[in-house]
Amino acid sequence: MGRLKLVDELKTILAPERVVTNRTVLEQHARGESFDEAALPDVVVYPESTQEVAEILKYATENRVAVTPVAVNSSLEGHTVPLLGGISLDLTRLDRILEFRPEDLLVVAQPGVTYPQLNKYVRRSGLFFPVDPGAHASLGGMIATNASGTAAVRYGVTGDYVLALEVVLPTGEVIRTGSRARKSSSGYDLTRLYCGSEGTLGVITEVTLRLSGLPEAASAARVPFSDAESATTFVTNLIQAGVPVARCELVDANSIRVVNAHQGTRFPEEMTIFLEFHGNPPGVAADLRLAEKLARDSGALLFESSSDVKERERLWEARHNMFYAAVAANPGKRNITSDVAVPISKLPVAVSKALCAHRDSGLNGYLVGHVGDGNFHIVTFFDGDDELAKVEQLNHQMVTFALSIGGTSTGEHGVGVRKLKYMELEHGGSLELMKRIKRSFDPHTVMNPGKKIPGVN
Ligand SMILES: Cc1cc2nc3c(=O)[nH]c(=O)nc-3n(C[C@H](O)[C@H](O)[C@H](O)COP(=O)(O)OP(=O)(O)OC[C@H]3O[C@@H](n4cnc5c(N)ncnc54)[C@H](O)[C@@H]3O)c2cc1C
């Protein structure tokens, strides 16, 4: 269909000022984070209600126009690039909290609400939504990628908090999945199917989330080790000992080095584990004592800890500032972040192998990991096509090794475009069933084509 006709017809569904073809806006919707390929949509639309989303999807399916849902656009694997042009469906204006029921520990919100906005809203009630992927992501984007982040080792992933959804199917039909009960054995679990669906099965227009109680006390520690093997062995021992760690992050020596250079700090430039414990005061003190013993047994060079809020922030500073320090240390270079997760006992070998390969390649790579879950990332900076080919080779080795030891090609960032090539290797025969699910929800493949499941366009 011609672009002019498409735009004119969309203007009969939405107010004309919310149907945008301005070049700058199209370019903002042409690419995602950490992914080079770009493709302009024909038009960007800003619905403000479920009804409007339904009319857009009905129209798109009837006219075979591709639709790419997008919210904060912080996903890292090319999820939001409108590969076939068409409609970029910007959900950021669906941004209202609709109902808060502290007595049921739940909240109902539109998908464009970000998790920091949600936490600000519910904070006074002593509740919070504990999933923290770092970037100020939207609830819809987090559900669609099944995001997790630093606190997943204690609190779980986004999907663990989704009780119910309202979803617009590609035909424009509006369905509701799940209930307000905290558990259910009824029907097939369609709510969970939408967790990690990456906008390929419909558009989430309302979310019901359960919340957690804010912990009474917290403590933090920073623990440097002389090598990756000892640091990750400590993590494995800590988890196996059943210590209820709330956050457990690994940052490699290279990353600490750029943080020191960037902000003038003098953190030991070693492989470092950052820890946080949540609970009541005697509980977190006991957790710290046990963690310190296990750390020293694994060869920790130092164990610095505190329960004081300001001091805790200081202990975690290097972790929080790592990404921006790495960008500053590599001016003008592009970067790619890769993400794998492995069984916890295989973490030492997977991390050591990835770091050695990076060192041998001569590229600047920075490793961070939510290692309490066996999940780690390397951000690699590069310039030009030769270096890009090297980064791709390094990431390929990391993913295929993770798969060979029973891990996954993506612990939390999702498949998008870049991980499509591993789906067959990872899922074998069940990939065919996934294709059938996709086709039965979206027979004309208008929803985010070219993502998540290979070979269904
Ligand atoms: C610096 C940085 C750090 C990060 N750290 C982490 C981390 O620690 N853990 C982690 O898990 N991720 C992390 N990410 C990745 C990213 O923040 C997550 O993938 C996040 O969940 C994306 O949310 P978003 O609102 O930006 O979604 P978008 O990027 O806008 O969209 C993501 C996907 O969701 C789909 N989508 C969006 N809204 C809807 C909807 N309402 N209905 C249906 N589909 C929809 C889109 O089509 C797309 O496929 C990081 C990103 C950055 C830039």
What does the pLDDT average to over 171-187? 97
What does the pLDDT average to over 179-192? 97
Q: Is the CB of 142 within 6 Å of ligand 1?
A: yes
Higher-pLDDT residue of 220 and 319 is: 220
Residue 450: pLDDT over 90: yes
Q: List b or e across 88-115, with b for residues whose CB sees 16 or more CB atoms inside 10 angstroms.
A: bbbbbebbeeeebeeeebbbbbbbbbbb
For 343-383, write each residue's pLDDT tens digit: 998 999 999 999 999 999 999 999 999 999 999 999 999 99
Residue 128: pLDDT over 90: yes
What does the pLDDT average to over 218-244? 93
What does the pLDDT average to over 435-439? 97
Centre of ligand 1 to C-alpha 302, Å, is 36
Q: Is the CB of 410 within 6 Å of ligand 1?
A: no
Residue of 307, 315, 316 whose CA lies nearest to 283: 307
Residue 36: pLDDT over 80: no
Tell me what pLDDT residue 307 has. 87
Stretch (H or E) spanning 324: helix 309-329
Centre of ligand 1 to C-alpha 80, Å, is 9
Tell me what pLDDT residue 133 has. 92
Q: Is the CB of 84 within 6 Å of ligand 1?
A: no
Q: What are phi and psi of 422, to 5 degrees?
A: -100, -5
Tell me what pLDDT residue 263 has. 87
Tell me what pLDDT residue 322 has. 87
For 334-343, write each residue's pLDDT tens digit: 999 999 999 9
User: In angstroms, rounded to a whole number, what is the distance separating the alpha carbons of residues 457 and 451?
Assistant: 9
Q: Is the CB of 212 within 6 Å of ligand 1?
A: no
Centre of ligand 1 to C-alpha 380, Å, is 20
What does the pLDDT average to over 14-26? 98
Q: Is the CB of 135 within 6 Å of ligand 1?
A: yes
Cβ neighbour number for residue 203 with a 10 Å cutoff: 28
pTM score, whole prediction: 0.96
Nearest CA to ligand 1 atom 21: 142
* Alpha carbon 315 to its chain's center: 24
Centre of ligand 1 to C-alpha 346, Å, is 27
What does the pLDDT average to over 301-329? 88
Pairing between strand 19-20 and 217-225? unpaired
Q: List b or e across 385-408, with b for residues whose CB sees 16 or more CB atoms inside 10 angstroms.
A: eebeebbeebbeebbebbbeeebb
What is the crossing angle of helices 347-361 and 384-404, to 10°?
160
Q: Is the CB of 148 within 6 Å of ligand 1?
A: yes
What does the pLDDT average to over 199-214? 98
Q: Which two tokens stand for residue 289?
A: 């004592």
DSSP-derived 3-state class of residue 207: strand
What does the pLDDT average to over 80-89? 97
Q: What whole-number percentage of the chain has pLDDT above 90?
A: 91
**First-to-last C-alpha distance (Å) of the chain:** 18
- Testing ligand 1's pocket by substitution, the residue of 33, 45, 74, 131 carrying the most ligand atoms inside 8 A of its CB is 74
Going by pLDDT thresholds of 50, 70 and 90, the confidence category of residue 388 is very high
Tell me what pLDDT residue 48 has. 98
Tell me what pLDDT residue 207 has. 98
- Testing ligand 1's pocket by substitution, the residue of 44, 67, 75 carrying the most ligand atoms inside 8 A of its CB is 75
Centre of ligand 1 to C-alpha 335, Å, is 17
What does the pLDDT average to over 198-219? 97
